[in-house]
């Protein structure tokens, strides 16, 4: 959709405002692959027509606005480059926590930086730490259970030759690839719940 065209932008804004805010009282939006929504003729623009219209709208501007700040298009990785008023997913947090848990060397400073707001990436235009959405798993890539059960992706069922999905999930199987019924014992003799 060409969001820089006035009629298209109006249709999107009217739909968001009426169907989601007025009719269903949705309290916020997460915009998937949000960079595509801010891409104009010259590339990504944090002050694009779409972002400006949302921020100026008397209803939409009062909602929680969350950006997934990347897509696969040109200049598609725009972490920390969105307009004020939009929170952003923090994939640096996801990857840092997973790498620390996996046991990668030298990850303590990175984990500390993630837990204290990832300022080296997000401290732009007076952004505050609460504009980040820190997560360890989402609908993209491995689930949290998969992160602890697989070292590599196994997307074989959909018959796409394991070519879909993210290749680096910062995961570890800790000895057994895939789900298992093994019940680990702790040093004190207690049993953990089975890992599935």
Q: Are 5 and 39 within 8 A, CB to CB? A: no
Residue 127's alpha-carbon distances to 123, 154, 155, in angstroms, are 6, 38, 38
Q: State the DSSP string of 140-183.
A: SS--HHHHTT-SS---TTTTSTT-SS-S------TTSSS-----
Q: Active site residue: 34, 45, 68, 91, which one?
A: 68
Q: Is 32 a catalytic residue?
A: yes
Q: Active site residue: 32, 40, 52, 146, which one?
A: 32
Q: Is 68 a catalytic residue?
A: yes
User: Annotated active-site positions, please?
Assistant: 32, 68
């Amino acid at each position: 959709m060409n969001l820089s065209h006035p009629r298209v932008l109006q249709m999107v804004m009217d739909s968001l405002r009426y169907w989601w805010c007025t009719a269903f009282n949705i309290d916020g939006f997460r915009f998937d692959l949000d960079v595509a929504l801010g891409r104009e003729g010259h590339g990504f623009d944090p002050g694009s027509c779409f972002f400006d219209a949302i921020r100026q709208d008397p209803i939409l501007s009062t909602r929680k606005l969350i950006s997934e700040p990347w897509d696969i298009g040109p200049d598609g990785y725009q972490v920390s480059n969105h307009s004020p008023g939009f929170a952003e997913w923090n994939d640096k947090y996801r990857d840092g926590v997973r790498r620390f848990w996996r046991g990668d060397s030298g990850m303590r400073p990175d984990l500390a930086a993630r837990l204290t707001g990832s300022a080296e990436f997000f401290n732009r235009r007076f952004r505050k730490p609460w504009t980040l959405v820190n997560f360890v798993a989402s609908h993209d890539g491995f689930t949290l259970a998969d992160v602890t059960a697989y070292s590599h992706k196994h997307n074989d069922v959909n018959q796409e030759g394991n070519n879909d999905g993210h290749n680096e999930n910062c995961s570890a199987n800790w000895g057994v690839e895939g789900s298992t019924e093994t019940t680990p014992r702790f040093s004190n003799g207690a049993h953990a719940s089975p890992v599935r």
